[in-house]
Structure 1
Amino acid sequence: MELISLKINGRCCHVAVEKNWNLLYVLREVLDMTGTKCGCDTNDCGACKIIIDGEAVTACSVKAVNAAGKDIETIEGLSRDGHHLHPIQQAYIDCGAVQCGFCTPGMVMASKALLDKTLTPTEEQIREALKGNLCRCTGYVKIVEAVKRAGKLLIEEGENNGM
């Protein structure tokens, strides 16, 4: 076992890991952060999408030891106060982009990584950002609408906060 420090959702934690454990395993099984879903554990579905140092990645494809010292964001960290939905989550609900919900955390995190770079993405940019995330229910139309709406909500929020 190796003791590593992880910065997850702005908080530092120390965790003992085996060098072959992936970050998905550590998040779900060691830290009990089950919002990040395990759909395939082979980097194919995107259900375990998180953000590391500003980039959307699948947690199953990252060795936990390689994540030490990096800035990790998970679905659990989106709520700013622990009680209210993030504008991206609200947009997914408003647009009906949530059906079974299994892919939703990964989709939301991929959306956040994109919207952190541009609040007015084109449909092509949205589809490119989401291409590694599989959804069996929605057909992606509502998800694309939700990302566009989330960008608008974030712009409005910025205007309301003097940004």
Structure 2
Amino acid sequence: MRFVKIAMLTVILSPLASHATLGGAPGAGTPTQTMLRATPQSAAGATTVTTTAPYTTRESRDTNGVLIREYVLPSNTVFAVTWEGPIRPDMTALLGSYFPNFVTAGESRARGTGPLNEGNGDFRIESAGRLGHFFGMAYLPRLMPANVRPGDLK
């Protein structure tokens, strides 16, 4: 019951924004977000040159000034998102069906004990920050391209 109350409160109080949903298609750039760039990325340490990059990076900035990066596979699926800004982004919209995993990860640790670094083989989240500067990433390890490490997604 507590989870339902938290989820409903989050949905009601969160700004309406159109971001990529983790595991879904990338955002389309709406009036609430501005597309900054979309660039193909190659895998770190790749020794062969291929005609298709393992993923594309799309950057946008929401109305609150949060920079959001979407990491998109050639199949048009978002396998990771990162954020950095003065507040946390709308996590419900950003994580989509993985939002309950985020809530569970937050509830499994004591409050105020530092950065959130939780997950399993299906979903990972790393989130930290302080007043005026929050940052983090969420990704799906099973969709991560070969030769791409989470540290490459900054």
TM-score scaled by length of structure 1: 0.26
Structure with the largest fraction of helix: 1
